Amino acid sequence: MTISRWTAAPAQPASPRRRGAVLERAILEAALEQLSTVGWNGLTMEGVAARARTGKAAVYRRWPSKEDLVADALQAGLPSLTDAPDLGGVREDLLELCRRVRDAMFSQPGHALRSVLYECDVAQAERFHAVILGGVIEPTLHILREVIHRGIERGEVRPEAANPYVFDAIPAMMMYRSKVCASEWSDRDLEEMVDQLMVPLLRRTAV
Domain boundary residue among 67, 98, 127?
67
pTM for the whole thing? 0.74
Q: Each residue of 141-181: pLDDT tens digit?
A: 999 999 999 999 999 999 999 999 999 999 888 888 877 76
Residues 138 and 56 in one domain: no
Q: Look up the domain containing 158 and give its range.
A: 90-202
Q: What are the pLDDT digits (tens) for 16-63?
A: 566 788 999 999 999 999 998 899 999 999 999 999 999 999 999 999
Q: What is the dihedral of CA 84, 88, 92, 94, to 10 degrees?
A: 30
Instruction: Determine phi and psi for 12, rounding to 5 degrees.
Output: -90, 135
Judge whether 31 lies within some domain: yes
For the chain, the C-alpha Rg in angstroms (whole number) is 23
The answer to whether residues 60 and 95 belong to one domain is: no
Q: Is residue 9 part of a domain?
A: no
Higher per-residue confidence, 152 vs 78: 152
11 belongs to a structural domain: no
Say if residue 62 is in the same domain as residue 97.
Answer: no
- 147: in domain: yes
The answer as to whether 76 is a domain residue is: no
Q: Domain check: are 60 and 161 in the same one?
A: no
Q: Is the pLDDT of residue 113 over 90?
A: no
Residues 197 and 95 in one domain: yes
What CATH number did the domain enclosing 27 receive? Answer: 1.10.10.60
Q: Is there a domain that residue 1 lies in?
A: no
More confident residue, 4 or 82: 82
Domain end: 32, 67, 102, which one? Answer: 67
Angle between the N-to-C axes of helices 164-179 and 138-154, in degrees from 0 to 180, rounded to the nearest 10 = 130
Q: Are 60 and 142 within one domain?
A: no
Q: How many domains does the chain have?
A: 2
Kindly tell me the number of DSSP H helices and DSSP E strands found in the chain: 12, 0
Residue 4 is predicted with a pLDDT of: 42
Residue 207 to residue 121: CA distance in whole angstroms: 51
Residue type, 132: I
